[in-house]
Amino acid sequence: MNVLSHVKATIRLALPAALLGALSLPGWALIEYSDNQRETIVEMLEQLEERHYSKLEYDDTLSSQHLDSYIDSLDRGKMFFTAADVAEFEQYRTVMDEQLAAGKLDAGFVIFNRFQQRLQGRLENLLAGLTEAVAAMDFTVNESYLLDMEGREWAKSDTELDDRWRKQLKNQVLGLKLADKNAEEIAPTLEKRYKNQLKRVQQYNNQDVFQIYANSLTELYDPHTNYLSPRRSENFNINMSLSLEGIGAVLQLEDEYTKVARLVAKGPADKQGELHPSDRIVAVGQGGEGELEDVIGWRLDEVVELIRGPKDSIVRLEVIPAKAKSTDQRKVITIVRNRVKLEEQSAQKNVLEIPDGDTIIKVGVIDIPAFYIDFDAMRRGDKEYKSTTRDVKKLLQELQDEGVQGIVIDLRNNGGGSLQEANELTGLFIEYGPTVQIRHSSRRVWRDGKRLKSPYYKGPLVVLVNRLSASASEIFAGAIQDYQRGIIVGGRSFGKGTVQTLIPLTEGQLKITESKFYRISGGSTQHKGVVPDVVFPTIYDTEEIGESALDHALNWDQINPVRHHQYNDLSTVLPHVTTLFRERSVHNPDFIYLEDQVDLAQKTREIKELPLNEDVRIALRDSQEEKALKIENKLRLATGEELLTSLDDDEDEVDGGADSDTDKAVASAEEEDEEEDVLLTEAGSVLVDALRLKQQRYAVHSQENTTE
């Protein structure tokens, strides 16, 4: 959400406590709601109660949760309101449901006006003495800055709030200092950031307030149900537009940062190779030399506008990497803007050669970046229209002609797409039958799948998924698993098993979750995702990425299964395959490396406070980097590579001989491909294991029949 996330992201810096009690500020006026918004909130409540899948009633209980959600959306870090403010807001706890049903938005606007007053006062007074405050900081004092705000209480006094702001400012300054920002540039950088934020604060209008208030309610239903203001409705396709005409990244706001939710397969950022999900964008620069503009605290649409641009132009992103060894680490990534072309998202094939004793087994791989279909060409009657199923069918035949003994379908990072294609693709691997169940909020269930018997690929099959395999990918993988048609390997999938629809309102639109996907075995793909039969180590943090990482995500549940054929009895094969995989992975340096990286990331997340003593902070950073260096050298020792003396040496190797940003991007992408190939090769090995076990059982069975 644009405004909501911007409010969450507002800078947190100290100002005299006396101003917190001010009743008015220059240039500040009360924001009031309109008659159209009165009508809109009544319509929205009716739609939520009648059409949302969860069938939640907006009663006193939900009113109480709405109040907490709204206050949290405005002041998650507990940096503006005091305990006295929150106590004053208690009068609204169980009456907001009656108010909104009557078209009264008083509670939301009263609370917001108090918040904006405090926010504007903080910013104005901070800017008046920022340079002096930064210059006076003492980084030899032993104190710390709290990272985990969940357990923090509301401040009992303005003095207590001031101390929180002082530490927040000190942490930001120290972070810039340790990110190699020149000392004389720190105060001007912060001043520019805060002036931009003050300008945005002063531009808040009743649409902004209404959107925040409405969404703090809709998101109690589920994270994909949102109110879209008129402005946001116009920009509803902004992520898609960014995907097609920018860098190919889907962005979201998290507190004060613009965060990468996922990359569009084969898009500019994906092919460049350095930007990753959960990276946080802190600055954007135009061209190869343009100044990096700080975007911390910006609205999402404003950040997107900076990132978008003409084809073949350059944008530079300064990010805090998701895998940063310390919270002060920064990296600048150069990306050439382009369009994502349908043909570049097409399924591709290649062949793995997997050793099996003295022989080599050829395994076909089909990489499917998205579930695509050219609807326009299909409607025109074009017999050669592009679609996932049509392309995969051709590739299957080509691979069989090349003599492969099994197929791996690679769905890593496939965020979904056409439900029709997920169903039809499944039909290439089963004779006939249902593939998915869809239950509407009315509780009516309908099924989709392959209705007519037809030839299908009958050979060994493995499906490789990861945390970014979502939606249509989960429907396909779940069906293959339920039919026991193939073995699912990799990491647990994303877990998005809901369907949204848009409903027009008097002012804006409501995007509402109206249906839910279920597997033919009865279990939902929602929240839980598809759990692989053989689990590989993963670099993705399930606490940060996936449906289960989202607040108020709908739970996993199940409905009645559908009668369906099972093509194999994998229960007799999987224990042996899993044992063989574990035996290999114990000695596989690349798998050990991945597991060590995951363990380090987990330990980093457990850090709840950051020291504000510079020497102690540097020691913490050096300790984290030393741990990361040990992991890197452990892999290098096992693979016979030269050991590093620092992590910077590793970056130099990637950049070695690269005279341009494009060369560096290619080198980085190639390194990433090598890491991913470890998992792909292991998927091929699992297929070979299953093939060998099947052949051995067939041989034993044949021998027993002969003996008889």
Which tokens is 413 given?
Answer: 């990072």
**Dihedral angle sign, alpha carbons of residues 563, 566, 572, 573:** negative
Instruction: Indicate if 233 belongs to the active site.
Output: no
* Tokens, residue 529: 């995702």
According to the model, what pLDDT value does residue 620 have? Answer: 93
What values do phi and psi take at 493, rounded to 5? -75, 180
Q: What is the mean pLDDT of each run of 10 residues along the chain (708 residues)?
A: 35 30 56 96 97 96 97 92 96 97 97 93 87 94 89 91 91 91 91 86 90 96 93 50 62 81 82 89 90 84 85 92 74 88 78 92 95 83 86 97 97 90 96 96 94 94 96 96 97 94 94 96 96 91 87 95 93 94 92 88 87 96 92 93 83 50 43 63 96 75 49
Active-site residue identified among 216, 243, 387, 471: 471
Instruction: Single out the catalytic residue among 97, 410, 482, 590.
Output: 482
Strands 445-450 and 433-440 turn out to be antiparallel
| Whole-number Å distance between alpha carbons of 101 and 44 | 10
Question: Catalytic annotation on 386?
Answer: no
Task: Give the torsion sign (CA, 272, 278, 279, 284).
Answer: positive
- Is 144 annotated in the active site? no
CA distance 43 to 58: 13
**Nearest CA among 37, 443, 469, 49 for reference residue 225:** 49
Helix ranges, 179-329 (H): 183-201, 206-221, 230-234, 238-245, 268-272, 300-307
**Catalytic residue selected from 8, 496, 511, 664:** 496
CA 65, 66, 69 angle in degrees (round to 5)? 85
3-state secondary structure 374-396: CHHHHHCCCCCCCEHHHHHHHHH
pLDDT at position 649, please?
A: 65
Output the pLDDT for position 512. Answer: 97
- 8 Å CB contact between 474 and 417: no
- Residues in Cβ contact with 103 at an 8 Å cutoff, skipping those fewer than 6 apart: 38, 39, 41, 42
Please give the model's pTM, rounded to 2 decimal places. 0.82
Dihedral of CA 636/642/643/644: which sign?
A: negative
Tokens found for residue 212 = 């925040």
Contact indicator for 78, 155 with CB cutoff of 8 Å:
yes
171, burial (CB in 10 Å: exposed 0-12, middle 13-18, buried 19+): buried
Say how far residue 122 (Cα) sits from the centre of its chain: 32
Q: What is the DSSP string of 226-247?
A: EEE-HHHHHTTTHHHHHHHHSS
Q: Which of 444, 382, 370, 449 is nearest to 414 (CA)?
A: 370
**In order of start, what are the domains of the chain with their CATH numbers?**
2-221 (no CATH), 232-336 (2.30.42.10), 346-492+518-562 (3.90.226.10)
Residue 330: per-residue pLDDT: 85
